[in-house]
C-alpha cells in the first residue's frame, strides 16, 4: 500500500507543479509565493516519507526545520511584498523589470 | 708604407668630415687632397716594388672573427692586380680631388664632399687590398655606401635622393649574390682566405653539393654568384639601370665612381677570382654572353641619349661589358689593361664634361649647346683626345686594350678552338665599336661644332675653367695618350711575368699568342668600323636635309633606344610595382594590419563586447526569465551528470560545455 515509488512520485509531482506554477504565472506575485510554499511542502513531504522508509529520525527533524524556515521566509516575503505594494501600488510580476542587465 | 697608403684616406676623411667646421673650406680641401696625393705617391712606390721588382707582400694585422673553423684576419695582400688597382684608384681619386676643389668652389658643403670622396677612396682601397673575401666584402659594401652618400650629396634634390636609393638598392641585389657566394665559398672550402681558396680550387673541380635535392657543381655555383655581385656593381645588363641614373651626383663624383673606381670593382672581383672561374666552363660562357650584350646595349643606348653625362655613363656601361667578356675569354690581364686605360680616358671624359657643364651654367642637355669650340678650345682638345682614346684610335690608349680584346674574340671564332659564344662576343663587340665611335663624335659635334643653341645670356658667361680644373684634365689627357703604349708590355706583352701568380690561366684557354698572329685584314676591322661610325656621325649631323627624320621605323627605333629599351619602365611595371603592391596590400594590409590584428588585439577588442552584449541581453529583469535559466541550468547539469556517468555516449564534458558556449554565442 505504501509503495515507495508513489511517495516519491507524489512529492516530485508536487514539486514540478509548483515550479510550473512559478513559470506560468506572469501576473500575480502572490501565486508565486504560494508556489514557493508548495515547493517547501513537497520537500518536506519527501523528507518525512524518506525518514519513515529509512527508519531514521533525521528526515523528520529536517522537515520541522524546513517548516520553521518556510514560515520565516513567507513572513519576510510578504513584508517585502507589502512594502513593494506601498511604493508601486501594483504587484504584477511582468512590470518588475527595473533591474535588467 | 703599405698600411699607411690605406689609412691616409681614412684619416683625411675623418679629419675633413668631423673637423670641417674648424678647418674651413680650404683647410679641408688641402688636407684631404694632400692625404690622397700622398697615397698616390705611396702606391706608385708599391707599383714599382710589386710590379717591376716582382715582390708580393702580405700583411696580417689582427684577428677579426675567430669562431670554430672560421678564422678571419685583418689581412692585406699586395700583388700585381692590387698594385695596378691601387695606382688607378689613387691617381684618379687625386685628380678628382684636385678638380673638385675648384668645381665645388661655390658649394656650401665642401668639407663634407671631400670627406665622402676620401671615404670612398678608403673603402675602394680596402676592397682591392683585402686578403680574404670577408674583408673584401667590407670594402664592397663601403663603396656602395659611399656611392649613396656621394650621389645624394645635394640631398635637397628629389632626383638625387631617388637615384641614390636606386643605386644602393640595385647594388644590394648584387651584394646579396656576393654574400651568397661568400657563404658558398665557406661551405665548400671552409675558408675565406684567397690563398687557401685558390690553392685548393683544382681539387674541387668535380665537387658537387646538394641543394634542394639538385646536384650543383660548387665551382660553377660560386662563380655564378660572384658574377651576380659583379653584375650589380659593374652595371652589366640586368642590373645596369642604376648607373645612368647615378649621374645626379656632382660631375667629379661621376668621374670617380662611375668611370674609374666603383664600377670596376665588379671586374676586379672577376679578375681576382680568376683561379676559381677558370675552372668553370659555364661561368666563362655566362661572362661572355652578358659582357657582349652589355657592350652592345650600352653603346646603342648611348648613341641616342641627349644628356651629356648620360652618354658617357652608357659608354662606361658598354666598356664594362668589354672588360667582362674579356674575362669570359680567359684574358684577365687584357681585361685589367682595359680597366686601367678606361679609368684614364673615362675620367677624362667625365671631368671635361663637367668642365663644359660648368661653363654653360650647369646645362647638361647636348641639344642646348653647340659651337663651344671657339670658346672652350682646351676642353675641346682634351675631350677629343678622350673620345679618340675611347673609340680605339690607333696608338692612343684605347687602341691597345680594346682592339686587343676584339682580336682575342676574333681568334676564338676564327680558329678551330670551337668557341661559338666568342663569335657572338666578336660580332656584338665589333658593332659596339661602331656605336662607340658614333656616339663619341655625336657628342663632340653637338657640343662643340654644331650651330649654337645656347641662350644669349649664357653665352656671355661661358669661359674656360680655371687652372685647378684644367691641370687634372691635362694630366688625364696625357695619360689617355700614353698609358696604353707605356703599359702594353707590362700588361699584355707576350710572355710578360708582370702578373706573377695573381692571375691564373688554364693552358687550354690561353689564346693571346694566336691573337698576335691574326690575319691583318681582320685586325683592321675595328678600325674600319670606328671610322665608319665617325663618318656616319659627322655625315648625319652636317647633312642639311635630315631625310631620316621622317622614316617611321627609324623614329620608332630611336625612341625605343633613347628610352633605354624600356628597361626602366619594364622593371617598374613588372618588378617594382608588383613588389610594392605586394608589400602594401598583402603583407601590410592583409597580413600585418589584417589577419594578425584580427586574431590579435583588434579582433578580440571587437568580439568580446559583442559577446558581452549578447550575454547581457539574457538578463531581462523579469523574474520568470531568471527562474527559467535557473531551472534550465539545473536540467543541463543533471543531463551532463547523466551522460558522463553513463558511459554509453561519446559525449564528454568539454563538448557539452562548448555547445553551451555556442548556444550563448
**What interface predicted TM-score (ipTM) does this complex get?**
0.82
Count residue pairs from A and B with Cβ separation < 8 A.
31
**Residue keyed to cell 687652372:** B467
What does the pLDDT read at residue B652? 65
Q: Chain A: residue nearest B613 by CA?
A: A101
Nearest to B621 among A23, A26, A100 (CB): A100
Beta carbons of B621 and A96 less than 8 Å apart: yes
What does the pLDDT read at residue B420? 67
Judge contact between B403 and B526, C-beta under 8 A.
yes
Beta carbons of B624 and A93 less than 8 Å apart: yes
Beta carbons of B627 and A100 less than 8 Å apart: no
Range of A22's domain?
Answer: 2-99
B410 has pLDDT over 80: yes
Q: How far apart are CA B227 and CA B174, in angstroms?
A: 8
Residues of A in contact with B627 (CB under 8 A): 22-23
Which of B221-225, B281-285, B401-405, B616-620 is the least confident region?
B616-620
pLDDT classification of B544: cutoffs 50, 70, 90: low
Please, which contacts does B168-174 make with residues 24 or more away whose CB atoms are closer than 8 Å?
Answer: B168/B144, B170/B232, B170/B239, B170/B241, B170/B242, B171/B144, B171/B147, B171/B232, B171/B233, B171/B239, B171/B242, B172/B144, B172/B232, B173/B228, B173/B232, B173/B239, B174/B228, B174/B229, B174/B230, B174/B231, B174/B232, B174/B233, B174/B239, B174/B266
Q: What is the CATH number of the domain that holds A22?
A: 1.10.287.3510
Judge contact between B313 and B243, C-beta under 8 A.
yes
Q: What is the CA radius of gyration of chain B?
A: 32
Which of B115-119, B618-622, B655-659 is the least confident region?
B655-659
**Shortest distance, CA A45 to any CA of chain B (angstroms):** 21
Beta carbons of A101 and B623 less than 8 Å apart: no
Residues of A in contact with B621 (CB under 8 A): 96-101
Q: How far apart are CA B314 and CA B240, in angstroms?
A: 9
Please give the torsion angle defined by the CA atoms of residues B326, B405, B261 and B237, in that order, rounded to the nearest 10 degrees: -60
The total number of structural domains in chain A stands at 1
- Cβ-Cβ contacts under 8 Å for B153 (sequence gap 6 or more): B109, B112, B113, B116, B160, B249, B250, B253
Burial (CB < 10 A; 0-12, 13-18, 19+), residue B161, is middle
Q: How far apart are CA B377 and CA B358, in angstroms?
A: 15
Residues of B in contact with A77 (CB under 8 A): none
**Shortest distance, CA A96 to any CA of chain B (angstroms):** 6
Q: pLDDT tens for residues B238-247?
A: 898 898 888 8
**Strand partners of residue B208:** B217
Nearest alpha-carbon partner for B285 in B509, B435, B507: B509
What does the pLDDT read at residue B593? 87
Residues of B in contact with A16 (CB under 8 A): none
Q: Which helix (H) or strand (E) holds B509?
A: none
Residues of chain A whose beta carbon is less than 8 angstroms from a beta carbon of chain B are 19, 22-23, 25-26, 32, 93-94, 96-101
pLDDT classification of B665: cutoffs 50, 70, 90: low
Beta carbons of A32 and B623 less than 8 Å apart: yes
**Strand partners of residue B216:** B209
Judge contact between B191 and B225, C-beta under 8 A.
no
C-alpha B585: how far from its chain's center? 31
pLDDT classification of B649: cutoffs 50, 70, 90: low
Q: Which helix (H) or strand (E) holds B73?
A: strand B70-78
Which of B127-141, B184-198, B369-383, B610-624 is the least confident region?
B610-624
A1 has pLDDT over 60: no
Strongest mean pLDDT among A89-93, B172-176, B593-597, B609-613: B172-176
**Shortest distance, CA A59 to any CA of chain B (angstroms):** 24
Amino acid at each position: 500500500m505504501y509503495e515507495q515509488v508513489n511517495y516519491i512520485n507524489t512529492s516530485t509531482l508536487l514539486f514540478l507543479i509548483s515550479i510550473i506554477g512559478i513559470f506560468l504565472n506572469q501576473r500575480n506575485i502572490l501565486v508565486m509565493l504560494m508556489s514557493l510554499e508548495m515547493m517547501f511542502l513537497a520537500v518536506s513531504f519527501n523528507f518525512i516519507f524518506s525518514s519513515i522508509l529509512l527508519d531514521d529520525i533525521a528526515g523528520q527533524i529536517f522537515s520541522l526545520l524546513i517548516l520553521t524556515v518556510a514560515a520565516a521566509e513567507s513572513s519576510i516575503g510578504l513584508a517585502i511584498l507589502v512594502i513593494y505594494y506601498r511604493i508601486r501600488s501594483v504587484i504584477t510580476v511582468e512590470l518588475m523589470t527595473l533591474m535588467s542587465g | 708604407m703599405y698600411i699607411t697608403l690605406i689609412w691616409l684616406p681614412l684619416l683625411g676623411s675623418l679629419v675633413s668630415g668631423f673637423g670641417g667646421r674648424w678647418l674651413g673650406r680650404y683647410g679641408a680641401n688641402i688636407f684631404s687632397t694632400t692625404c690622397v696625393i700622398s697615397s698616390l705617391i705611396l702606391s706608385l712606390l708599391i707599383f714599382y716594388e710589386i710590379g717591376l721588382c716582382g715582390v708580393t707582400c702580405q700583411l696580417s694585422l689582427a684577428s677579426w672573427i675567430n669562431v670554430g673553423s672560421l678564422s678571419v684576419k685583418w689581412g692585406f695582400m699586395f700583388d700585381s692586380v692590387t698594385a695596378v688597382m691601387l695606382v688607378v684608384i689613387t691617381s684618379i681619386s687625386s685628380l678628382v680631388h684636385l678638380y673638385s676643389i675648384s668645381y665645388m668652389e661655390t658649394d656650401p658643403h665642401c668639407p663634407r664632399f671631400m670627406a665622402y670622396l676620401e671615404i670612398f677612396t678608403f673603402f675602394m682601397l680596402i676592397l682591392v687590398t683585402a686578403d680574404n673575401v670577408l674583408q673584401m666584402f667590407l670594402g664592397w659594401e663601403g663603396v656602395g655606401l659611399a656611392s649613396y652618400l656621394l650621389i645624394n650629396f645635394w640631398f635637397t634634390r628629389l632626383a638625387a635622393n631617388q637615384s641614390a636609393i636606386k643605386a644602393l638598392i640595385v647594388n644590394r641585389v648584387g651584394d646579396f649574390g656576393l654574400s651568397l657566394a661568400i657563404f658558398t665559398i665557406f661551405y665548400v672550402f671552409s675558408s675565406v682566405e684567397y690563398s687557401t681558396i685558390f690553392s685548393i680550387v683544382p681539387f674541387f673541380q668535380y665537387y658537387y653539393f646538394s641543394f634542394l635535392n639538385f646536384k650543383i657543381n660548387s665551382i660553377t655555383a660560386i662563380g655564378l654568384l660572384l658574377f651576380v655581385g659583379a653584375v650589380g656593381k659593374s652595371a652589366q645588363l640586368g642590373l645596369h639601370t642604376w648607373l645612368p641614373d647615378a649621374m645626379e651626383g656632382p660631375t667629379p663624383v661621376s668621374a670617380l665612381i662611375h668611370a674609374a673606381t666603383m664600377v670596376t670593382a665588379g671586374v676586379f672581383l672577376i679578375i681576382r677570382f680568376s683561379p676559381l672561374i677558370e675552372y668553370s666552363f659555364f661561368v666563362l660562357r655566362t661572362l661572355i654572353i652578358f659582357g657582349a650584350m652589355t657592350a652592345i646595349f650600352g653603346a646603342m643606348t648611348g648613341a641616342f641619349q641627349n644628356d651629356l653625362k648620360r652618354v658617357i655613363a652608357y659608354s662606361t656601361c658598354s666598356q664594362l661589358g668589354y672588360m667582362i667578356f674579356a674575362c669570359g675569354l680567359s684574358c684577365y690581364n687584357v681585361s685589367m689593361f682595359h680597366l686601367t686605360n678606361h679609368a684614364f680616358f673615362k675620367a677624362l671624359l667625365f671631368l671635361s664634361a663637367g668642365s663644359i657643364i660648368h661653363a654653360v651654367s650647369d646645362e647638361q642637355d647636348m641639344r642646348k649647346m653647340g659651337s663651344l669650340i671657339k670658346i672652350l678650345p682646351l676642353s675641346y682638345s682634351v675631350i677629343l683626345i678622350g673620345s679618340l682614346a675611347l673609340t680605339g684610335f690607333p696608338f692612343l690608349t684605347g687602341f691597345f686594350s680594346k682592339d686587343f680584346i676584339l682580336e682575342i674574340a676574333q681568334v676564338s671564332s676564327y680558329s678551330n678552338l670551337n668557341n661559338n659564344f666568342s663569335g657572338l662576343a666578336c660580332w656584338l663587340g665589333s658593332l659596339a665599336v661602331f656605336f662607340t665611335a658614333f656616339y663619341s663624335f655625336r657628342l663632340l659635334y653637338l657640343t662643340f661644332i654644331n650651330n649654337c643653341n645656347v641662350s644669349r645670356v649664357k653665352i656671355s658667361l661661358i669661359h674656360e675653367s680655371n687652372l685647378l680644373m684644367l691641370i687634372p684634365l691635362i694630366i688625364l689627357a696625357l695619360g689617355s695618350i700614353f698609358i696604353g703604349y707605356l703599359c702594353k708590355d707590362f700588361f699584355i706583352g707576350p710572355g710578360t711575368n708582370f702578373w706573377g701568380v695573381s692571375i691564373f690561366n688554364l693552358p687550354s684557354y690561353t689564346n693571346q699568342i694566336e691573337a698576335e698572329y691574326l690575319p691583318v685584314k681582320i685586325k683592321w676591322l675595328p678600325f674600319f668600323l670606328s671610322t665608319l661610325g665617325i663618318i656616319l656621325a659627322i655625315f648625319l649631323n652636317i647633312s642639311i636635309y635630315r631625310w631620316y627624320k621622317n622614316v617611321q621605323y627609324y623614329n620608332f627605333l630611336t625612341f625605343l633606344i633613347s628610352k633605354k629599351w624600356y628597361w626602366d619602365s619594364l622593371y617598374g611595371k613588372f618588378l617594382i610595382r608588383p613588389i610594392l603592391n605586394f608589400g602594401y596590400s598583402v603583407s601590410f594590409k592583409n597580413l600585418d594590419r589584417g589577419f594578425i590584428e584580427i586574431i590579435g588585439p583588434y579582433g578580440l577588442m571587437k568580439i568580446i563586447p559583442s559577446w558581452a552584449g549578447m550575454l547581457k541581453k539574457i538578463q531581462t529583469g523579469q523574474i520568470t526569465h531568471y527562474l527559467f535559466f535557473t531551472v534550465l541550468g539545473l536540467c543541463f547539469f543533471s543531463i551532463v551528470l547523466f551522460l558522463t556517468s553513463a558511459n554509453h555516449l561519446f559525449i564528454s564534458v568539454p563538448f557539452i560545455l562548448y555547445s553551451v558556449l555556442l548556444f550563448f554565442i
